[in-house]
């Protein structure tokens, strides 16, 4: 199998993480790296043992090589163009979140993968991170009983540095808001933990604070879900401060509760820490999951449809902030 990675310049080193994982997977024989900054690709290539080729454009990559599977790690607003180029080349795609910041683009990506008959996974890596995998097991396994409330708070701490290193994050032209960009992580986690479609979203936001941004910087959103009484709540703010607590997960159920990284059983009083030891990097766990699904012919752990639903719910948050009314998230088939 020949794998490709498009986008090596992330400040989080995502390209290097994906490349390192491909370097140890036995089914991958060759790795193609693609970035407009050739030096960034060369720096990653120097750390790999497998054969590597380097390209400086997506067009060149797919014109010169047959790629079986590709990680697309480029800025959000470029996802559609890069995904469609991969689909045209019949390459399976692992696409970093969000699937796209605008719903028409997100919808086109899902439909494009289906038309090309290729596999698509959205890299919602937080599902593999920290306490969340165990929290999902406890909730899905009924250990919390009927869920009254699931809330996640995320107070982003290094936004100034992020915007300075990658100005596109803060650009209005990218179509990105705090919720559809950064916050889609938490929207996806809430949907995944609840395990039900979002019925309505009601939200409020403001732009209070000194960090320059074209949209709301603090948002509180309430979610209701199909078929259950669960109340979901998300709190986001770009005005978080380094060194302060970022927030976390609280889940309240009829049989137990999760708070501050711990689960407690109401009946027995048993407590469990959900914080695991040093495990695999969550971004690399996404790559493993993607390649395992390709190898085994199993469903993608986070399908394009799932990625669309998370962005649609995030867009509903922004819409409710503007109207002050409950909003029903758009469906893929709309």
pLDDT, tens digit only, all 334 positions of the chain: 999 999 997 767 899 999 999 999 999 999 999 999 999 999 999 999 999 999 999 999 999 999 999 999 999 999 999 999 999 999 999 999 999 999 999 999 999 999 999 999 999 999 999 999 999 999 999 999 999 999 999 999 999 998 988 899 999 989 999 999 999 999 999 999 999 999 999 999 999 999 999 999 999 999 999 999 999 999 999 999 999 989 999 999 999 999 989 999 999 999 999 987 666 789 999 999 999 999 999 999 999 999 999 999 999 999 999 999 999 999 999 6
Closest CA to 58 of 48, 291, 75, 177: 75
- What's the confidence (pLDDT) of residue 278? 62
Q: Is 73 helix (H, G, I), strand (E, B) or coil?
A: coil
Q: Is 177 helix (H, G, I), strand (E, B) or coil?
A: coil
- What's the confidence (pLDDT) of residue 277? 64
What fold, for 127-282+310-323? Dihydrodipicolinate Reductase; domain 2 (3.30.360)
Q: 298: how many CB neighbours lie within 10 A of its CB? A: 10
Q: 237: how many CB neighbours lie within 10 A of its CB? A: 25
For domain 2-125, the CATH superfamily is: NAD(P)-binding Rossmann-like Domain (3.40.50.720)
- What's the confidence (pLDDT) of residue 280? 76
Domain parsing of the chain, residue ranges: 2-125, 127-282+310-323
Beta strands at 147-155 and 231-237: parallel, antiparallel or unpaired: parallel
pTM exceeds cut of 0.85: yes
């Amino acid at each position: 199998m020949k794998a490709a990675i498009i986008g090596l310049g992330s400040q989080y080193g995502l390209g290097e993480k994906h490349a390192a994982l491909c370097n140890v997977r036995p089914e991958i024989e060759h790795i193609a790296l693609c970035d407009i900054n050739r030096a960034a690709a060369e720096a990653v290539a120097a750390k790999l043992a497998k054969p590597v080729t380097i390209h400086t454009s997506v067009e060149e990559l797919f014109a010169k090589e047959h790629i079986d599977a590709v990680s697309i790690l480029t800025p959000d607003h470029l996802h559609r163009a890069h995904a469609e180029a991969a689909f045209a080349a019949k390459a399976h795609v692992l696409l970093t979140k969000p699937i796209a910041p605008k719903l028409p683009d997100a919808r086109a990506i899902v439909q494009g993968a289906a038309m090309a008959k290729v596999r698509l996974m959205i890299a919602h890596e937080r599902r593999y991170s920290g306490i969340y995998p165990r929290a999902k097991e406890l909730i899905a396994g009924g250990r919390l009983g009927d869920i009254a409330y699931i809330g996640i708070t995320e107070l982003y701490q290094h936004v100034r540095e992020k915007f300075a290193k990658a100005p596109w994050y803060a650009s209005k032209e990218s179509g990105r808001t705090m919720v559809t960009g950064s916050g889609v992580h938490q929207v996806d986690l809430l949907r995944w933990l609840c395990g039900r479609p979002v019925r309505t979203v009601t939200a409020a936001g403001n732009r209070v604070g000194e960090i320059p941004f074209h949209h709301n910087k603090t948002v509180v959103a309430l979610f209701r879900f199909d078929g259950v009484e669960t109340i979901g709540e998300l709190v986001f703010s770009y005005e978080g401060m380094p060194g302060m607590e970022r927030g976390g997960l609280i889940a309240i159920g009829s049989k137990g509760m999760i708070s501050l990284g711990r689960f407690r059983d109401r009946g027995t009083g048993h407590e469990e820490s959900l914080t695991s030891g040093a495990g695999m990097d969550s971004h690399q766990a996404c790559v493993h999951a993607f390649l395992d699904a390709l190898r085994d012919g199993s469903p993608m752990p986070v399908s394009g449809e799932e990625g669309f639903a998370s962005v649609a719910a995030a867009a509903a948050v922004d819409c409710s902030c503007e109207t002050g009314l409950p909003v029903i998230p758009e469906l893929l088939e709309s």
